[in-house]
Amino acid sequence: MWAARVEELITPRTTGIMGVHLWGRGCDVEELARIVREHDLKLLFDAAHAFGCSHEGRMIGNFGGAEVFSFHATKFLNTLEGGAITTNDDELMSRIRLMKNFGFAGQDNVIYAGTNGKMNELSAAMGLTSLENMDEFIAVNRDNYERYRKGLEDVPGVRLMEYDSAERLNYQYVVLELDRTATQLTRDELVKVLWAENVVARRYFYPGCHRMEPYRSNQAHVDWGSRLPETISLSERLITLPTGTAVGPEQVEKICDILRAATQHGAKAREWLSEQETELTGSGTDPEVR
């Protein structure tokens, strides 16, 4: 179904397709490869979440024309900032190397349009440290994920995103999808409950790129409800929970207890939130930034 939708959106102006390995899980590489072959397009992948992960037993970073990884401070491999592009295309790699170094081919011979995309020494040192501890990070992330899975298995209306244990994974993300009917709380209300308990959970992907500038203004005429129904629906149902080396078994257990209590007493939780927001509004404090 999704493949047919992708093909519907191809126009004479389309030059390529970008797949996304979301939350470290490989997307349907084979189907996307079929589409680009049949339509003579390029295929790239957003692998920002997927460092250290595999798809069908093959390491992500080997697919399409190129794959792009993020090494931002919030990602699995942290170099403070920056990222990497991988490709098996020698000609493309030569062009990328020119682009990241002002187009220089030699000391003073500029032959290509470029910018300063080189990694600085401090970021490189941070990245090497991350690489040295990569197995430890994966072990902690996986342990946290398994504890969340066990702790939330009896919580109504909460579905934890699953990983394929046959693949190599970094377990960087603990993602919940909520059924509002069962939880008696909206996703946003549940996030507010968590924040009130000093649990910094995040709405994901919220509010969606189509609701941000410049798209919000440039494409104000678009009926996003019919154009991106699944995007809108998911952006209102997903939460990511804290994990990583700063989160241990006690924290995971506490978060699971909060989620269980909130969903079992949704009406009371909503009433409490309403009282809190009324008090904050009356005191002149914005409840969204307290």
Per residue in 189-199, pLDDT tens?
Answer: 999 999 999 99
Residue 287 forms part of a structural domain = no
The neighbour count for residue 288, using CB atoms within 10 Å, is 8
- If one counts every other C-beta atom within 10 angstroms of the C-beta of residue 282, the result is 8
Number of domains in the chain: 2
Using the Cα atoms of residue 116, residue 119, residue 123 and residue 125 in order, give the sign of their dihedral. negative
| DSSP state, residue 238 | E
Q: Which of 240, 97, 122 is closest to 173 using CA atoms?
A: 240
Q: What region does 23 belong to: left with phi over 0, alpha with psi -120 to 50, or beta?
A: left
User: Are residues 65 and 42 in contact, defined by beta-carbon separation less than 8 angstroms?
Assistant: yes
What local confidence, expressed as pLDDT, does residue 290 receive? 40
- Among residues 92, 108, 132, the one where a domain terminates is 132
So what's the pLDDT on residue 281?
67
Burial class (CB in 10 A: 0-12, 13-18, 19+), 249: exposed
Domain-embedded: residue 26: yes
Task: Report pLDDT for 289.
Answer: 42
pTM: 0.89
Is there a single domain that holds both residue 147 and residue 110? no
Buried/exposed code over 72-100 (b: 16+ C-beta within 10 A; e: otherwise)? eeebbbbbbebbbbbbeeeeeeeebbbeb
Domain membership flag for residue 288: no
Q: Give helix 134-152 / helix 249-264 axis angle, nearest 10°.
A: 30
pLDDT tens-digit map of 21-51: 999 999 999 999 999 999 999 999 999 999 9
State whether residue 117 is helix, strand or coil. coil
Which residues of the chain register pLDDT less than 50? 287, 289-290
Please tell me the distance from the alpha carbon of residue 165 to that of residue 172, in angstroms, as a whole number.
Answer: 14
User: Are both 149 and 254 inside the same structural domain?
Assistant: yes
CA distance 11 to 4: 14
| CATH number of 17's domain | 3.40.640.10
